[in-house]
Structure 1
Amino acid sequence: MNQMFATDAEKRLIPSSGMRGPVPLLIAIMTFVIVVVAAAGLALSNTSSVVKAGVENRYSIQIADGSAKAPAAIAAARKIPEITRVEQVAPEDLRRTLERWLGPSASEADLPMPAIIDVDLRTGSDAARAKQSIEAAVPGARFIAHRTSLEPLLNALRGLTLLALGLVLLIALASAAAIVLAARGALDTHRGTIDVMHGIGAEDQQLVRLFVRQIAIDALSGGVAGAAAAGLVIALIVGGAGYATLLSGSPPLDWNDALLLLLLPIAIALLATQVARGALMRALRERL
């Protein structure tokens, strides 16, 4: 970003407004929103990956009339080399779950309870073959992947992640449009200076460099301020998400995510610089 370096004389011609001007404030707000939305998208993506990895090799054997057939299903599952763990869900747990839906009367009703047996497969095992073996050994049993039950949740997480990415792109486009307006406004503000410099032989590239330097400094200072505020908010939210971290086994954001978020203010400043250069060149050609 060599546009940020200029001589003292050039700085006096087109001075930077610092954090007092509208451009730094606008960029700070946009950067704050972008960083927060991007952090939310990364956290959702990480959560989706953790959930997917946690159930990737987990299946359950479900039997409607479970009390009679559960022992045969357990024995058949333990004979399959691909299965590493076989554990039946306790009937008491199933009844407590039923009570959450039907209320206390569920414990008094003589309802037939199904059998659910959780099994884990080795990574890379053929789930279809294990399914065929279980269902052949125990007629009426269903071999169901946990991922199938969680597919609506995974789809929702993927959709929210894509929504966050779309919002980041839309806010970036809005920032670019605001920079174009700011660049044209700067030309109008310094019209007298531009006419004098044109009169003494200054070229458009020289004039553009002066304005781009100002916008680059304003964008970078605003971006850093907005990112710092967003980082504080994210740190408070992540710090209060200890329970979710214990459940998932990993924090919502890792160091790679933090590095990516730290690069966003620089990326926004570079975007503002390139957009401003193009807008200023077009505006100067239109004046001529």
Structure 2
Amino acid sequence: MSDGHENVGYRRLFESDELTFGAGFPLTATNRSRPDVSEETRLARHAEDAGFDALWARDVPTDWPKFGDAGQTFDTWPWLSHVAAHTDDVALGTSSVVLPLRHPIHVAKSAATVDQLSEGRLVLGVASGDRDPEYPAFGVDREDRGEAFRERFEAIRACWHEEFPELEGEWGALEGDLDVVPKPTTETVPMLPTGNARQSREWIADRGDGWLFYHLPEPTLESYVADWRDLAGEKPFAIAVRVAFADDPTADPEHLHLGYRAGVEWLRKYFERLEGYGLDHVIVGLEDGDSERALSTFADEIIGEF
């Protein structure tokens, strides 16, 4: 990977050999209705001050009640611009932009804009999507989303890297008479495919700047990271994990969807094991009635150990 892929946000997350931590919006854990903007903003500043390395926004274009999760509600690009204006140096991430549902010129322009406004703090998770009704809503054939992901991924890169690019795909064509501006702060905004994104691991290792995955059982995660190292060398591997603190600091874990409720002692050892497997970054979704307390506890008891 060339240095042109390593903007300020990417270096913040992946330059050291230590495990780094990000927090996922909504920080108030209000994922079924509109979060309070002022509270989310206050908590974003608090997370940065407490020691989190990144704040991650999700891309959920529509609310599908059956899915049970409306994301952070606000559109990714204006929301991250707002967060950039109210924070100083924390990395800003997307987890993840659904490429088949977005035009690549719009993604290239929007992402480069946020990257410029934040002075290079943006890291772009990108995905193929998982909410079935959204594909017909956007006029996209669900069965073609793997091809659409690849073509749009390459188109976005070309819009950043080239002036007046010439390329075409199922999304449309650029014929060399139009440029897409602004360009990012570096050669490209780093892009991390999320999950399998309907691609082979070899493609992800070759084209991605890292791999972003979901919570996995520890033996599975260990094997995934080992396979990734064989394919991608030192390119980073990151996961998302839901975490709830048990009242008893010595409590054993209880399974949550994509995570655990456990005492802080078990959680500290859990993340130490993840670092030992070679994991580079964890996006934490905290569940607690007192979000500020949860962020502070995680920062003091977990991040402080790394």
TM-score range, shorter chain: under 0.3
Give TM-score scaled by structure 1 length: 0.21
Max Rg structure: 1
Report the structure, 1 or 2, having the larger helix content: 1
Which one scores higher on RCO, CA 8 angstroms, separation ≥ 6?
1
